[in-house]
Each structure stands twice: as structure tokens, then as C-alpha cells.
Copies of this chain bind each other. A is one copy, B any other.
Amino acid sequence: MKITRTQNLLAAVFVGVLAFVTTIAQAADPLPSWNDGKSKQSIIEFVGKVIKEGLPDFVPVAERIATFDNDGCLWSEQPMYFQAFFIFDRIKHLAPQHPEWKYKEPFASVLKGNVKAALSGGEHALVEMAMATHAGTTTEEFEKIVTDWITTARHPKTRRLFTEMVYQPMLELLAYLRANGFKTFIVSGGGIEFMRPWAERVYGIPPEQIIGSSIKTKFELRDGKPVLVRLPEINFVDDKAGKPVGIQMHIGRRPIAAFGNSDGDLQMMQWTAAGKGARFCLYVHHTDAEREWAYDRKSHVGRLDKGLDEAKEKGWTVVDMKKDWKRVFPIQKSE
């Protein structure tokens, strides 16, 4: 069959119209990386009913507070929390100033590259390493240290920057909520000053909307110049029952939506769900061993056990990462 010039033209117009229609359809979908299904539907239904004035579940803008866990909810957390990579890198960097570390655990194991041995000391060892690497600087110095690290350090398995291992569907969700008048907060067990230097650029969440664990700081005048010195003393642990405490301290208002992925988020969910009016709780369930990791009830990092039971019992949304997400990271493996 011979194709005339007119047919060609018509075909071109048709393709153009099709592309246009597709663009419109995509623009209309605020969550393009989410497969259609229960999870996506539950999000859109919740937002729809709280933003419409006149509906019984309407919530004024000032009260549209949404809180997000970070590790395992907004970015990956395997084979260990990304902040632990930062701690180990800092120990190696600071080792010349600490010759005693060669013979002192857990530092000696870190310097030998034996992560497992370094972590075998449990929470006590971790706190010791965190203090040795997070304290002793001013807040300004620490911000620069984190910024330098996060712009260069790479994940040992994916070889990507850690900030490239954020979840594309969750970035879309953050943007979708904000476009609908929500104020989005991070409520993480991770260090507050470890997240702040990059969270605004990566998640669009400003430092005043980051809640996390912290060490104490002290105001000092150094040669007449005021500084805040970071002290090797725990101030607040923003995990489990600490999350509602941190939320009240920083926000002073109960969230209407909470997002997490582990038992460490359960109390935040309970606190959120117990408020009056429409509430939304969502667990990200790590079910995708191929594109990310698969783990839940027995994992040492990000264990989701009690939370999974309670989510099912209470009808909270549980995201099946493998089924619900079209893509996981902003840059896909094949790219």
C-alpha cells in the first residue's frame, strides 16, 4: 500500500494528538510511579476527602500535618542504616588523630574493615561510635562534614550516591501532599543534624520540618564569636515511643497522616490514628528483593513485625513495594 502525503500528515497529527492526550493523562496522575491498586487508591481517596470544604472529613490547611519516617520509608536502609556508613567513614577519617583506636573496640574492627565485628558490641558500641564521630565540632562544622560526605559517598552495593537511593514513589507522594496543602515532616530515629543538610534539596523538606535523634549542644563565645558546640551526650532518641514525644515537642499538633516502614514507627501510627476525624497510616513493606531488598519480621534493620499485624488489624495501608511501585529509585538500574 502506498502511503500518500495526506495520509502521512494525518498519521503525524494523530500521533501528535495521542502524545498530547497521554501527557494530559500523565499530568492528571499525581502519582505516576504508583501502579493502580488499593494502595494508590487509598492515598488519593484520603487526600480527596480532607481537602474538600463542606465534606464531613474536611481538615483546614493549618492542620494538614503529615509525618514521614526516613530510613526504609523515604530512602533505603540496607545492609545497614546509611548513617552507619557515615560513622564508619568518619572513624577512618579521624583515625590519625586517635592512635588508640587501633587497639580499642569497636574502632579497631572498623579500621580493619570488619563491620560485623564492629557492630557486635550492640547498642553500646554504636552509641560510642556515634559520639566519637558526631560530637566535638560546632554545628556549622558538622553541617559541612555531612554535606561533603553526602555529595561523594556511595553505597557499596549499588555504587550510587545515597541520595540517589530515595524512593521515587515517595517523592511523588510528598509533592502530592504538599500540592494539597499538607506540611510534610520527617520524624526519624536518625540524627536530626545528619538529615538537615540535604533533606531540603532531596525531599523538599526544610530543616525546621525535620525531627530526629540528637545530642546536646552548648552555646559558647569563642574569641567573641558565638558557636554551638556539639557534646558527646544524648539529648533525645526519636524512635518508637519517642516519636510521638518528638512530634509533640516540634509540631505541637497531631499528624493526620503518618508514613513508616518498621516497628519503630508503630507508636507514631497509633498516635496519628487515635486523633479525631479522618486519619491515614501507611506502611512501606519491603517485598522487592530484585529492585531493592525484601525483609520484614526477622530483619535486624527496619524490623516490621508488630506493625504489620496492627496495620492489618486496623486496616492501614500496607504498600507492597514489588506490586505497588512501577519504579523504586529516580534512576532505574537499566539507565
Contact = CB atoms under 8 A, between A and B. Distances in A.
Interface size class of A (residues with CB under 8 A): 35 or more
B248 A217 contact: yes
Q: Which of A214, A244, A270 has the most CB of B within 10 A?
A: A244
B270 A245 contact: no
Given A244-B226, A245-B217, A248-B217, A208 B274 contact: no
A252 interface: yes
A208 B244 contact: no
Contact of A271 (B218, B226, B267, B271): B226
Contacts of A219: 241-242, 244-245, 267, 271
- Copies of this chain present: 2
Contact of A252 (B192, B248, B271, B274): B192
A207 B245 contact: no
A275 to B, nearest CB: 10
A235 to B, nearest CB: 8
B252 A250 contact: no
A2 to B, nearest CB: 59
Interface of A: 62, 65, 139, 183, 192-193, 196, 200, 206-210, 214, 217-219, 221, 225-226, 228, 235, 241-242, 244-245, 248-253, 267, 270-271, 274
